[in-house]
Amino acid sequence: MKWPSGTKGLRKPRQAFLAKESIKEILGDFVPYFEDQLPEDIIKLLGIQTEVTSEKLVSLLEEYSERKDNGNKNLAERIYRTLGSRELSDDILKRFQQAKLIFVPGASGQHWVSTKGAIWKDLSDTLCDDFVYLEKKYGAHLKEFFVDQLGVKENVDKETFAQRWLTLQKDTNRQPDEIENVLARVYRELLPIFNMNEDERPSWWEGFVSDARIWTQSKNFQKPSSVYVPDDGELKKIFNGENVYFAWRPPKDAFSDWEPLYRALGLPYLSESINISLLENSGYLTHDNPEFITESAKILITTWIREKKPTDFRRLFENNSIQALFETKEAYAPYLQLEYRLDNKMKRRNADCFWDKRNRKLIISENADAYKKNAISRTLARALMPNRAYKELSDWIELTLGEEDWRWRIEQKGWSIPDEVNSMVDVVIEPSNKGEALIRDNQVKVKSAENNREGIEKTDMAETSSSAIAENIYVETDNQVGDVRDNDKMEKEGSQGLLGNQRNKSSKNDFVERPFDYISEFKNAFNKPGKTQIEFSERDSGVVRNPDGRRGKSYEQHKKRLHAEPSPEKRRKETMRTILEGPDEQVREYLSQFYGGKCQICGKTFPERNGNPFFIANYIVPRKHARFVDTPANALCLCADHFAKWQHGAVEGDNIIEQIDGFKTKAEGGNISPTLKIRLCGEECEIEFREKHLLDLQELLNASER
C-alpha cells in the first residue's frame, strides 16, 4: 500500500529512497525520498531503497517506460551516466536488448526503444526519421555507454535496414505513403543482399526472411507466399477485386529493379501461378500453309530473343518452348473462351487467340479479323517471356508475322541464327561479294519431332562459286567455319553449337584460312614472361628543409603556368580516329551467369553503387584480331587486380593447350576439376572454370585448328 509520506506524497515503501546525498547526486529530485525517522533495520524490512544498484536503476527505467508520462530525459541521462561508470551484468545487457529502456525525446513526442531499435550516428539529414538516432539526443559523453557497453550500432548497416523493415510492419500509426517512402529506401540498401547467392548471405538473413512481410497494393503487409508479383497487366486486371494481393513497388521504378527482392523472398509470379486452358470451342481447323506464323517468322522471333534476351533464350530452349514454337501450326475457330484459375479462384474470358503449346496449335478466333496480328503477337510474347516486360517482343513479332523472306532482316541487324535453331532447321548459305556470309535460300525445313529424336539429318551445302575460292573468302555458318578449298559439295553436320553436345573434330580441309592464327595467339597469351620483382632505387625522402624557400619557389612556378594557360580552343585538336566495334553483350551476360561477378582466379568481387557485382570481361586473345574471338569461350571473369596483372604483368602457362585438351566433363568420365594452372606475376595460381565454359574454350581451339 502507499502509506509512507515523502517528498512526492504517499508512496509504496519499495518506491521510496532514503534521502542520502549519494542517492540524490545520482537521481536528483526525480524520485520520492522517505524523510521520516525510523530505525535502520525497520527501513530495510520495509524495503525502502538505501542504495542505488544497477539492478534498481534498470528497474526504474522499466517502470518509467510503462508510465503514461513516458519519463524524463534528465532522469534517463543521469541513470545512463551512472550505468556507464559501472560494469554491467549479462542479464542487464540482455534486458536492454529485449525491452525498450532507451528514452528518446523528440519534438513530435517521446518514446522508448531497445538497443536494436537505435543508431548512434545521426543520419536524419539523409535517412529522415527512418531510424532512432542517439547522437544529438545525448551527446558524445554517452557514446561509449550506448555503443561499447550496450551494443547500439554506431552506424547504419544492412542488418539495421532489415530490422527497420521488420519494425515498420508493426507500426500501426504510419500512413501508407510514409511506409512506402521508408520501404523504398530500405529496399535499395538491401539490394546487394538480395542479389547474393543463398550461401553467401549473412547469418541474420534467415531470421529476417522468416519474419518479413510484403507491402501490397492493398496498403497492408502480407506473408510473401500469399502476395503475387503482378508481372502481367492483363492477368492482373482479370483478378483485380478478387481478394488477391499484389506486391507494391514505387511507381517510378522498373519491374527489373525490384525483381531481386521478389526472387529472394520467394514471391510467386502471377503469370506462373495462373493456369489458362481452352474452355470450349466449336471445333477448329488446322491450316497447313500458315498465314502468320511462317517458318521465316519463327526464325526471326527466336533470333530476336537470343540477341536481346540471351538468358531467356536459354530458359526457353531448355524447357522446350523454342521447339514447340517451330512445331506449332495455325488453326482457326469461330470463337474462343479461356478459363483462368488462380488457387481456388476461377474466371472466364473470351479471347482472340490462344497458343495450345502442348498440342502445338495456335488457335485464332475468326472474330478477331481487325486485330489478328496484334492478338497473335501479344499471345506469343506473353507465353515466351513471362516475368518480363513482353511488349518489346510483341512489337517485333507483329512486325515479322507473315514474313516469307527472313534473310534481309537478319543481314540488316547483323545477327546470326542461333545454333540451337540450326539444330531444328536446314539453312543453306553462301558468301556475298563482300565476303560476308549471306543466306542463299530462304526455304527452311522444320524437322519433325520424330526426326529430332532420331538425330539431325545431314544436308548438302550448295556449291561455292569459283570466284569465292580464288579470293579465299572467309565463310562462316552458325555451326562451323569452313575452308573453301574446291567446288565439291560439302556436308554440313547438324550441331547444337558451342553450348550443346561436343562435336567431332573436323578435318583440316573443313576450315578456311583465318585472318590470323588463333592457336598461336592463344599460346602467346599464356607465354608473356617478364620481371616478377620490383627493383626499388633510392627515393627522395620528401622532407622540406627550407619551407619558406620551397613555398616561394613553388608559388612562382604555379603562378607562371597559370598566366601562360592557353585558351580551351588551342588545347583541342581535330583528328581522325578508327574505332573498333563494341563487344558482344552476351560475353558479359555469359560470365555473369556462370560466376556471378566473382573472379575466376581469386573468387572476389565487390558491389557497385547500383548493387551489381563488379567484374571485367577479359579477352584471352584480344578481340581486335577478329570478330569470331568476341565469344564467351575466349573470355575470363576477372577482378580489377588480376585483370591489371594479366594485362601488364608476366603471364606463363606450361603446356596450356595440353591442359585444355585433357579436360573431360563428368558426364564423359572426367574426374578432375575444370581448372588451368598458370603463373601470374611469378605467383602460382589457378583459373577456375565451369564445365560448360572450359568445354566451349576447348571447342573454340578445336575449331581453330589448321
Q: What is the pLDDT of residues 609-633, one digit of tens each?
A: 888 899 999 999 998 888 889 999 9
C-alpha cell at 529: 614472361
Task: Indicate whether 379 pLDDT > 70.
Answer: yes
Q: What band does 372 get if pLDDT is binned at 50, 70 and 90?
A: confident
pLDDT, average across residues 541-556: 78
Q: Which of 229-243, 288-302, 459-473 is most confident?
A: 288-302
Residue 453, pLDDT score: 34
In the chain, where are the structural domains located? 1-47, 53-156, 177-273, 275-412, 424-513, 585-703
Q: What band does 293 get if pLDDT is binned at 50, 70 and 90?
A: very high
Return the higher-pLDDT residue of 299 and 254.
299
Residue 511, pLDDT score: 40
Return the higher-pLDDT residue of 86 and 456.
86
**Residue whose C-alpha is closest to residue 526's, from 661, 678, 697, 630:** 678
pLDDT, average across residues 73-99: 90
Task: Indicate whether 380 pLDDT > 60.
Answer: yes
Could you give the percent of the chain with pLDDT greater than 70?
82
**Residue whose C-alpha is closest to residue 61's, from 51, 47, 75, 82:** 75
Residue 605, pLDDT score: 94
Residue 481, pLDDT score: 29
Return the higher-pLDDT residue of 537 and 625.
625
Task: Indicate whether 638 pLDDT > 90.
Answer: yes
Q: Which helix (H) or strand (E) holds 340?
A: strand 336-342
Residue 468, pLDDT score: 28
As beta bridge partners, residue 276 has 340
Size of the chain in residues: 706
pLDDT, average across residues 66-85: 82
Beta strands in 410-484 (DSSP E): 425-431, 437-446, 459-460, 475-476, 481-482
Q: What band does 69 get if pLDDT is binned at 50, 70 and 90?
A: low
Rounded Cα distance between 74 and 139, Å, is: 13
- Kindly list the distances between the CA atom of residue 128 and the CA atoms of 156, 182, 194, in Å, as whole numbers in the listed order: 13, 9, 24
Average pLDDT, the chain: 79
Q: At what angle do helices 310-318 and 585-595 cross, to 10 degrees?
A: 60
* CB distance 6 to 33 below 8 Å: yes
Residue 577, pLDDT score: 66
Residue 30 contacts by C-beta under 8 Å, 6 or more apart in sequence? 72, 74, 75, 78
Q: What band does 125 get if pLDDT is binned at 50, 70 and 90?
A: low
* CB distance 247 to 212 below 8 Å: no
**Torsion angle, alpha carbons of 520, 525, 526, 531, to 10:** 130
As beta bridge partners, residue 65 has none
pLDDT, average across residues 17-43: 82
Rounded Cα distance between 498 and 480, Å, is: 10
Return the higher-pLDDT residue of 416 and 577.
416
Return the higher-pLDDT residue of 574 and 697.
697
C-alpha cell at 476: 562462316
Lowest mean pLDDT across 80-84, 197-201, 327-331, 482-486: 482-486
Q: Indicate the DSSP class of residue 245.
A: E
Rounded Cα distance between 298 and 7, Å, is: 91
Q: Write the pLDDT tens digit of every residue in 213-234.
A: 999 999 999 999 999 999 888 8
**Residue whose C-alpha is closest to residue 133's, from 171, 98, 104:** 104
Lowest mean pLDDT across 524-533, 664-673, 676-685: 524-533
Q: Sign of torsion, CA 58 62 64 70?
A: positive
Return the higher-pLDDT residue of 237 and 475.
237
Return the higher-pLDDT residue of 692 and 9.
692
* CB distance 686 to 601 below 8 Å: yes
Lowest mean pLDDT across 192-206, 495-509, 538-552: 495-509
Return the higher-pLDDT residue of 449 and 10.
10
Task: Indicate whether 186 pLDDT > 60.
Answer: yes
Question: Strands 361-365 and 353-356: what pairing?
Answer: antiparallel
Q: Indicate the DSSP class of residue 480.
A: -
pTM: 0.46
Residue 349, pLDDT score: 86
Task: Indicate whether 313 pLDDT > 80.
Answer: yes
Q: At what angle do helices 295-308 and 391-400 cross, to 10 degrees?
A: 150
pLDDT, average across residues 392-418: 88
